[in-house]
Each structure stands twice: as C-alpha cells, then as structure tokens.
Structure 1
Amino acid sequence: MTWDEIAPLLRDATLETLQMTWWSSLLTALGGLLLGVLLVLTDRRGLLPAPPVHQVLGAVVNVGRSLPFIILMVAILPFTRAVTGTTIGTTAAIVPLAVAAIPFYARLVETALREVDPAVIAAARAMGASRRQIVGKVLLREARPGLVAGLTVTVIALIGYSAMAGAIGGGGLGDLAVRYGYQRFETGVMVATVVVLIVVVQLVQMLGDLLTRRLTHR
C-alpha cells in the first residue's frame, strides 16, 4: 500500500482510538474516584468505618483487576449490548474499557488518599469540618498530584486496552494493525500504527507529568 492509501485509514483509526480512550477515561476517572474514596472512608480507621462494606468493595476491585481484559470484554458482552445496543464497534468498546479500568484506578486513588498526612485530617476535624468538607477540601485537595499521576498511568493502560479491543471488533488502531498489518502482511501499516501509539502515549505521559508537577508545587 502507498502512503496515500495508508494515511486516511490511519487517520480514521487514530480518531476512533482517541474517542474510545477519551470516553472510557472520563468514565474511569468518575467511577474510580468514587470507588477509591469509598474504600478509604469505609476502612476500619476511616471517616465512615464499615468493615463489611470495605471488604465487599475490596473484593470487587480485586476481581476486576485480576481478569485479563480480553476475557473481561467477552464476559460482559450481554451488559455491553444492554448499554449500547451492540457488541461491535467503537462505542461498544468503551463499556469494557471503563469496566476494566475503574478498579485499576480505584486502587491508585486509594493509595493517593492514604498518603495524605493524618495530621492535616486531624486538624480539619479539630476545626469542626464535616466529613464532606474533609473529603472535598482536605483529602482530594491534598492528594491531587497522586490522583493525576494515577490517572495518567490509567489512561496509558487504556490506550493499550483499546488496541486489544480493536483486535476483536472494537475498531481503532488495533483493528487497523490486525486487518491490514497482520492479515494482509502490510508492514508499513503495522509500523505506522506502532509509531502513532507511541506518540500518543508519550503525549499523555508528558501532559500528566506536567500537571502533576504543577499541582505538587502549589
């Protein structure tokens, strides 16, 4: 294939991958943040201690993190169809991507929140701050560098997941690499796909590092 033939295919596949990554990252940020906060709050020494709830949430997170993405994607096909009306294409791939990444990010959120100095939380409590204020103005505020760094790692993982999703009908760069680069032995397509993925990952990492440094200096 010539570059004039590869270019439009690569452009469309890149846009599909970015679409999958963007929406799944947004859902992951919301779901993972909520789940991570609940893990910290319901801990035995948390603001809302509830060990049974904590154990259930921890088990859900552990199971979600232990399943390989390909297996998870196939296992939740009925759920994906119920949400999107289909199991093939870019929109359908967003569901398993988010389901796979939320538990992963939740653990990173939990780790970041636990690194907040307990003395800061104790001071807020002594000043009469409510639980909601402690969570919003102390825990989440103080943990922002760790939360952004964790989200950066998660987004990069999602880019890799999206390539796997594309390989089994999700569209995007993975689909392009398999259909043209592998099945049709088009080495140029494969190389171009790899280069684009590397560039996207590097840009995400640079942006994440920049935001983390800025938040750390504040």
Structure 2
Amino acid sequence: MKRFIAIFMMLCLVLGMSSVSVWADETSIWQSEAKMPTARHESASCVVGNKIYILGGYNNAKPIDTVEIFNTITNTWTTGKSMPIKGASFGVSVVGYKIYVIGGVDGNTITNQVWIYDTKKDTWEPGASMPIAKHCFSTSTIDNKIYVFGGFTQLNSNISNTVEIYDITNDIWITGKSMPTVRSAVGSTVMGDKIYVIGGLSGKTIY
C-alpha cells in the first residue's frame, strides 16, 4: 500500500504546528502519525531513504536550527545535528545521502551560504557560497547540479529572475539563463531532463 506523508507546517506568523498525517491512496483515508517534536513553519523537508528530514524554520517567530528526522517505518522521531545557522525560507536538495541547504533568512539577514548535511555521519560542512543572497526561491536537481530559481534578494522584496546552478562535483556556481519573468515563492519539479518552474509571485501578480 502506498502512503503519502504530509508534514503540516501552518503558515502563521507566530506559531507553527507539529501535526503529521499520512494519506493512504488505496483506502483514501488520512491517519495521524507521531507528532513532530518541534512545531515550526517556513522550514524545509526532504527524503533520504525511509526517513524524512525537517530542517530549520520559525518557532514562535524566531528562526531555529533544529533538525528532526521522521522514520517512516517505525513512526518515530529522532534529532539530527543542528544546522550551523538558525534559518528559514531556504532551499534544500538531496543528492545521494547528502542534503544541501542553500540561502534563506538567518534572523533578519538574507544569506548566500551553502551547508551540506551528511546523513550517514550526522555532520555539516560548508559548500561554495551562492553568488547572490536570496530567500523564498525554488531548487531542483539534475545530474549533480542544483538549480536555484528566482526568490527575494532583499528581505521580502526585490524579486529576482536569476538562475544559479551549483555544480556539487566541482563545488562551484554557474549562472544560468534568467527566467522570462521575476518570481518568488515559485515551485519547480524535474521530469526527465527538464525542469518545470510553476507559479510564484511577482509584485502583486500571482502566476
């Protein structure tokens, strides 16, 4: 039976929620799972093996560095090594067993830092910094390259159409062809050798 696990992070200004629900597509029923230890929002999540990693975000309007790991087999939570920064609204991508945390907001400061989490060793190491500090962007990965689309280059302002590409093999950044329009809070997904960039905001325009 296939199951889809949803981590509910309520997008409110002050408090997040720690609820975890699972959708079973064969029975069309939602069921509750073990609650996440730390309520949060504007965090990031990703999957490595049978585990879901929840990184950073806001708790009580303050950015946090907490890493919590949900084991989908045992329905239990464990704590990973904290991120080197307290951040939110960053991008994450997984390549192999490593998680790449890119940019985001560190307190009231937008960062261009890249941090790499080794899920086997439970350790962090720095990667090459992104050319432009930004937050509220989207990331997708093809062939050991992480593509970063749009985002804010100032705190919730100055929307970008730039595309930065992180070559993880050589630990360098390359500039890609800019998007046709500036966008933040955009979504992206990979199908084959193409990346589909979907929706987002541009000033008062919602795509």
Q: Which TM-score applies when normalising by structure 2?
A: 0.22
Larger Rg: 1
Higher strand share: 2
Higher helix share: 1
Q: Which one has more relative contact order, counting CA pairs under 8 Å at least 6 apart?
A: 1
